[in-house]
Amino acid sequence: MSIKSFLAIPFAKIIRKKVYKWANNPLETQEKVFQMLVKTAKNTVFGKDHDFENIKTYSDFKKRVQVTDYEGLKPYIDSVVAGKSDVLWPGKPLYFAKTSGTTSGAKYIPLTKESMPTHIDAARNALLFYIAEKNDASFVDGKMIFLQGSPVLQEKNGVKLGRLSGIVAHYVPNYLQKNRLPTWETNCIEDWETKVNAIVEETIQEDMRVISGIPSWVQMYFEKLVEKTNKPIAEIFPNFHFFIYGGVNFEPYKNKFESLIGKKVDYIELYPASEGFIAYQDSQTEKGMLLQLNSGIFYEFIPATEFFDENPTRISLKDVKIGENYVLILNTSAGLWGYNIGDTVEFTSLNPFRIKVTGRIKHFISAFGEHVIGKEVEKALNDAISGTKITISEFTVAPQVNPESGLPYHEWFIEFENEPENLADFALKIDASMQSQNIYYFDLIEGKVLRPLVIRKVKKGGFHAYMKSIGKFGGQNKIPQLADNRKIADVLEEFLVDN
């Protein structure tokens, strides 16, 4: 054991104790964050426009600040991007995290001197909690890889601009720099396939112990390693400890990962977003991720079933319940106010407050009034896979409203690595799970409005080919796992297995 790994254990336990101190006083912690945010921003353009001077309570805040999204804040953000100060938050941002938008095109999410450290501390603490729980920091003596976007930054009116993962790459602490791969030069490669091939060459002979990234892109890296060596990952990297991921529900991909790895490893789930680092997994034995209550974010929640109502219920942390699906609303030290991040979450624990991501509020299927959400399709697929040798690479679901014949149905596009022996039986298992979870879907099937779902097999590599075809191959890009339209489905028709 090196001095570095020896010292990491007591340090990790000190940090864990500090974190649980605020986590065990959640409402007081959130009230302090709320008061700090309002007081700090009261003299900004947004603060003056919304009478922050006279906001004393959360009730006052709700009367003055409406729930919005990037489109609603865009006039203010455009002013910030144009170089103006004191608009949403005092001064100018340190960075803009550039993300893919919808109607706005590219989105520019501000990162400030107050918000930036919260991203770094949360990522660090996720590793420290693992060390404290396992009483083992030996992984710091080996190599670590973080599959991420290019760290090359541009500049826009005096503010640096890049992908969040590329910005964060500039903050890797010195004590981890020697352990970190890929090299800076490789990380700057823009073409994703070229980049992954270079990462394979750099890492194949190294003592890799920690690997992190979005599952679909790490899977691509693993597949290239296995193809090159004809060995499972566990033989290539015998000291591989754990996999860090975020952005998607990992369960549907777990079988595939474990078949590639060749052994069971630990997993650490993160919930980072350009808008803020929201949660991380603090325990290998408890469900959910610890909500970051002391990171310059005041959280609000709207029951997902009410979100599209004219006057939905809008609550703070003290009124949430376990098991209910909520739309997550953020107010942050980067100057985002009443901001709908687009995600839905569910609480798995109220002491401390832990959450799991259940989907996207815009990603649902309700072509027939069924309002199927991401959590339901992910669970249905996992129920059907559980206890089998079936593995999948990727999937997405869309409604088929106008079939050539027969009743409409939900169409599941699945890329299998290891197929079920009987595809029809597999589809029935998924459908049975869907019916048991969603009473509206059950009623539509029983009432002969819909017929049971239909699976379309996507060619191996088909989803990657699809992402290339739309210019979103690699990096932080993810496939939506369901949609209320056929925008993705119609293009995927080109990548199906011939019947």
Q: What's the fold here for domain 364-495?
A: GMP Synthetase; Chain A, domain 3 (3.30.300)
Work out the mean pLDDT of the chain and round it to a whole number. 90
Q: Tell me, what amino acid is at 127?
A: L
- What pLDDT score does 479 carry? 80
pLDDT tops 80 at residue 15? yes
pLDDT in tens, 124-173: 999 999 999 999 988 888 999 887 778 889 998 999 998 888 898 888 77
Please report where in the chains the tokens 């088929």 appear, as a residue.
400
Q: How confident is the model at residue 91 (pLDDT cuts 50, 70, 90)?
A: very high
Q: Tell me, what amino acid is at 55?
A: I
* Residues above pLDDT 90, as percent of the chain: 59
Beta bridge partners of 110: 96
Comma-separated ranges of CATH 3.30.300 domains in the chain: 364-495
Tokens representing 125 are 């603490």
Q: Tell me, what amino acid is at 209?
A: R
pLDDT in tens, 41-89: 999 999 999 999 999 999 999 999 999 999 999 999 999 999 999 999 9
Distance between CA atoms of residues 401 and 397, nearest Å = 13
Dihedral sign, Cα of residue 445, residue 449, residue 451, residue 453:
negative
Contact 423, 457 (CB under 8 A): yes
Contact 154, 373 (CB under 8 A): no
Distance between CA atoms of residues 387 and 6, nearest Å = 40
pLDDT in tens, 175-207: 667 788 888 898 888 777 888 899 999 999 999
- What pLDDT score does 100 carry? 65
Contacts of 64 (CB under 8 A, 6+ apart): 50, 51, 52, 55
Contact 95, 116 (CB under 8 A): yes
Cα-based angle 379, 303, 345 (whole degrees, multiple of 5): 45
Distance between CA atoms of residues 350 and 284, nearest Å = 17
Q: Where are the beta strands (DSSP E) in 28-172?
A: 95-100, 106-111, 143-146, 154-156, 159-162
Please report where in the chains the tokens 């170089």 appear, as a residue.
83
Q: How confident is the model at residue 339 (pLDDT cuts 50, 70, 90)?
A: very high
Q: How confident is the model at residue 102 (pLDDT cuts 50, 70, 90)?
A: very low
- What pLDDT score does 480 carry? 79
Distance between CA atoms of residues 388 and 401, nearest Å = 32
